[in-house]
Amino acid sequence: MEHYNGYQLRQLADEVQHSIRQIPDVSETAVIGGQPRAMRVMLDSTKLAAFGLSAGDVVARLQAANARTQAGEFAEGQPGDSHDAGNLFRDSQDLEGVVLGTDSGHPVYLRNVASRIVDGPAEAQDYVLFGTTQAHAAGMPAKEYPAVTITVAKRKGTNATDIANAALARVREMKGVTLPSDLNITTTRNYGATAKNKSDTLLKHLLLATISVTILIALFLGWRESGVVLLAIPVTLGSRWPCFI
């Protein structure tokens, strides 16, 4: 928001995304907007030639050094809890220490052939802005601030309302702990709440329809027949209701 730029917001959003991914039945998450972190390496062609290396050799070695592999699964904790192993680059010092090869029996590090290594924001791939209408209503020019959006998708067959509530609860838990307390967090779309509202409205209409049919049958056929209908309709709908969730 006002006190944070797109790069800072993207880093905070990545932390939130990582936490939300741990929620059971979350299928997919994505971060839109902001500037992702990137480490850029400027190579010195003269130094590369001196060590008999090419830019392609450096790229291949960096990709191999930054590989993430799944080490295995453990019985403790949640079922299917996976653990990753790999030398992922955490900062520019990790990058500088990558061994590219040897020269006269001595290791050649990336810092030996790089003129500069920059750890910072990458070019933005998409843009998200946040603005309010209060200023415009008061006759002042509307303000827009950089923002990021986190999307969350559920697994097929699970309850959207439960997943949405769990994700929002996770964000509230992080507020003031791993997230700054002055960070403005808002919900733009909550399809879990939308699904619940539609479900509640449908149930209300079904209840009114059931009562109306029951009264009509009681007037024309009798109370015993209306009682059968009053029991049959909820039982039938109850057995099929999970299919509509």
Please spell the DSSP secondary structure of 25-77, one letter per residue.
Answer: TEEEEEEESS--EEEEEEE-HHHHHHTT--HHHHHHHHHHHT-EEEEEE-SSS
pLDDT at 238 (0 to 100): 63
3-state SS, residue 242: helix
pLDDT at 23 (0 to 100): 92
Question: What is the distance between the alpha carbons of residues 35 and 169, in angstroms, rounded to a whole number?
Answer: 26
| Cβ count within 10 A of residue 102 | 10
Q: Which residues pair with 84 in a beta bridge?
A: 70
The residue ranges of the chain whose pLDDT is under 70 are 1-2, 67-88, 133-142, 237-245
Give me the sign of the Cα torsion angle 205, 209, 211, 212. Answer: positive
3-state SS, residue 153: strand
Question: What is the distance between the alpha carbons of residues 8 and 14, in angstroms, rounded to a whole number?
Answer: 10
Q: How far is CA 26 from CA 72, 156, 193, in A?
A: 21, 10, 16
pLDDT at 82 (0 to 100): 37
